[in-house]
């Protein structure tokens, strides 16, 4: 596959933040932008953060909320640098 095609394909895929409940970055950003001002409210509205893993995506959602509150912008890549799927060690 041409690397340009691969990049275009990756950009068109929604970035998933909550893998347990299949919640995308765009859905969480939409909830925050439309007035969800606490983690609990975001969890209620999107179902992110309350999945079977126990909430491994919660730090990422918190980072998105804090960034929006402080700057009015969302981080381009909100997952922490040390993010590991399901927090396996
Ligand atoms: S990844 Fe969000 S609750 Fe598990």
Number of domains in the chain: 1
Q: pTM of the entire structure? A: 0.80
State in Å: Cα 17 to ligand 1 middle: 8
What is the CA(86)–ligand 1 centre distance, in A? Answer: 8
Q: Which residues span the domain enclosing 79?
A: 3-84
Q: How does pLDDT run along the chain (89 residues), one tens digit per residue?
A: 666 666 666 667 889 999 999 999 999 999 999 999 999 999 999 999 999 999 999 999 999 999 999 999 999 888 766 655 555 54
Tell me whether residue 59 is in a domain. yes
Q: How far apart are CA 14 and CA 1, in angstroms?
A: 20
- 40 Cβ neighbours under 8 A, 6+ residues apart: none
Q: Which atom from ligand 1 is nearest to the alpha carbon of 51? A: 3
Report the pLDDT value the prediction gives residue 58, as an integer from 0 to 100.
Answer: 96
Give the residue, by CA position, lying nearest to ligand 1 atom 2. 18
Q: Is residue 89 a part of any domain in this protein?
A: no
Question: What CATH number is given to the structural domain containing 74?
Answer: 1.10.10.1100
């Amino acid at each position: 596959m041409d690397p340009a095609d691969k990049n275009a394909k990756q950009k068109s895929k929604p970035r998933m933040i909550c893998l347990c409940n299949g919640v995308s970055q765009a859905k969480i950003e939409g909830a925050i932008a439309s007035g969800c001002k606490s983690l609990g409210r975001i969890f209620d509205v999107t179902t992110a953060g309350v999945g079977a893993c126990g909430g491994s995506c919660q730090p990422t959602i918190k980072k998105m909320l804090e960034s929006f509150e402080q700057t009015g912008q969302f981080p381009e890549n909100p997952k922490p640098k040390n993010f590991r799927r399901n927090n396996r060690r």
